[in-house]
Amino acid sequence: MPAPLPPPERGLDRRDVRTLGLSALGGALEFYDFVVFVFFAIPLGHLFFPPATAPWLAQLQVFGIFAAGYLARPLGGIVMAHYGDTLGRKKMFMLSVFLMAVPTLCIGLLPVYAQIGMLAPLLLLLLRVVQGIAVGGEVPGAWVFVAEHVPPRRIGFACASLTSGLTVGILIGSLIAASINRGMTPAQVLDYGWRLPFLIGGVFGLLAVWLRRWLSETPVFEAMQARKELVSGLPLKRVLERHLPGVLLSMLVTWMLTAAIVVVILMTPSLAQSAFHIAPARAFLGNSVASFALALGCLFYGWLADRVGHARALLPGAIGLLLSSYVLYLDLQAGGAHFIALYALAGFAVGVVGVVPAVMVAAFPPSVRFSGLSFSYNIAYAVFGGLTPPLIGLLVRHAGVLAPAHYVAFTALIGVAVALWLLARRSAVVVQNSSSCAAQR
């Protein structure tokens, strides 16, 4: 008799949808807190450094403080991942958003250089480091949390939904920055307007803490706990001993993700103003449209990954990212006549980052998944994300205004290489399995 067919895998039920919705909303509020800093790089450069500082140097210094948040991410990621793999995912999911809300609120209340001198940029740097620690545990923890709540064949869309939620946080920051720049004079922005998004962000963060009270622990962690399969000792030690290929793979796709998000989405509004002389209101309008397109792009690529596989979704997505980045910056170089439309196209192309968390989740077993993903992602983001803002600032000054597009294109080629490697490995596994079945017959 033929073997019975396996039961069809269930789709997303109401509990899954609620988990995805609350996780994405909380992530959006927390990520807003983290990224709104870069949208006010220009006024922060004026306010937190000596008045005689050259504008380009002040902006470079602010980008350096922004980068410090990325450099602090591994600390938060490694510590929170350790306890996430040993004590539970939900506890760390709650802690990370609380650690983000407090420094964001404090930045909005911080005295500037004219009031307390060099203590101002030092305090700004300290608060930015705390933000980095918080987001280091938040992003990988959120991906693991939602991936372990949904059926296996829905992980791509689930992780992409959360990533889309994070990008909505960028959109909220961009909209608030656009409204402040449109509704206030430059003098008002420097006086008090720059504080408003950080004060709002502190309230948002506390709201996210409250929202996450309604989430439950992941079924995967509860099952490992019941079967006593939790790792004893240091989960990270096991990752480094047994899963180095997964670490390398995750770092490479994270490099592409950092370039796409940091350069195309976060830095382009400021670069459009300083290097291409686009008006602030138009720059942030374009960024708002691009961030919305990015949220849609994440959902599309996550859906595609569940339908055709991670590698087949990553390959055309990386190529699209390469082409759209060049088109956007070439148009800016020519005067920016089609800036809004091409920024939207580039934003949608950046949505390929929605595939990245599913690739990383699949690279590690559940017992060390949080630690493996968090270590790989945060180390790569600290190195590549942390160095990218000051590097791009220097490259634009010394290598020309197309330097950001060149950098994004290079990392997109890395994404193409990863996709081709995954496809080749999958083909090799299929051939090996076919040979084993033939030998058994």
40-65: pLDDT as tens digits: 877 888 888 887 777 767 767 777 77
Q: What's the pLDDT band for 250 if we cut at 50, 70, 90?
A: very high
pLDDT of residue 51: 79
Query: Which region among 143-147, 352-356, 432-436 has the lowest average model confidence (pLDDT)?
Result: 432-436
Structure tokens at 14: 């109401």
Compute the distance between CA of residue 141 and CA of residue 3 in angstroms, rounded to an integer: 39
Residue 114 has, within 13 A of its CA and on its CB side, a CA count of 8
pLDDT of residue 13: 62
CB-neighbour burial class of residue 115 (10 A; exposed 0-12, middle 13-18, buried 19+)? exposed
Helix (H) or strand (E) holding 217: none
Q: What is the mean pLDDT of residues 202-211?
A: 81
Q: What does the angle CA 180 – CA 183 – CA 184 come to, to the nearest 5 degrees?
A: 75
Backbone φ and ψ of 243, nearest 5°: -130, 35
Is 1's pLDDT higher than 60? no
pLDDT of residue 12: 62
pLDDT of residue 375: 92
Q: What is the mean pLDDT of residues 354-371?
A: 90
pLDDT of residue 27: 75
C-alpha dihedral (418, 424, 429, 430), degrees to nearest 10: 130
- Rounded alpha-carbon distances, angstroms, from residue 226 to 19, 230, 297, 364, 372: 22, 9, 38, 20, 22
Higher per-residue pLDDT: 364 or 9: 364
| Residue found under tokens 């080749």 | 424
Q: What is the mean pLDDT of residues 393-405?
A: 83
H helices within 3-86, ranges in order? 14-39, 41-47, 55-71, 73-86
Nearest to 27 by CA among 130, 103, 96: 96
Q: What is the mean pLDDT of residues 325-352?
A: 94
Q: What is the mean pLDDT of residues 79-98?
A: 81
CB 258 within 8 A of CB 321: no
Q: Assign domain 15-432 to its CATH superfamily.
A: MFS general substrate transporter like domains (1.20.1250.20)
Mean pLDDT of the chain: 84
Residue 173 has, within 13 A of its CA and on its CB side, a CA count of 30
Compute the distance between CA of residue 393 and CA of residue 273 in angstroms, rounded to an integer: 13
Dmax over Cα atoms in the chain, in whole Å? 85
pLDDT of residue 178: 80
List pLDDT tens digits, range 256-271.
999 999 899 888 988 8
Structure tokens at 107: 């930045």
List pLDDT tens digits, range 282-317.
888 898 899 899 999 999 999 999 999 999 999 999
CB 350 within 8 A of CB 321: yes
pLDDT of residue 11: 57
Q: Packing angle between helix 55-71 and helix 14-39, nearest 10 degrees?
A: 150
Backbone φ and ψ of 258, nearest 5°: -65, -45
Nearest to 25 by CA among 78, 93, 75, 92: 93
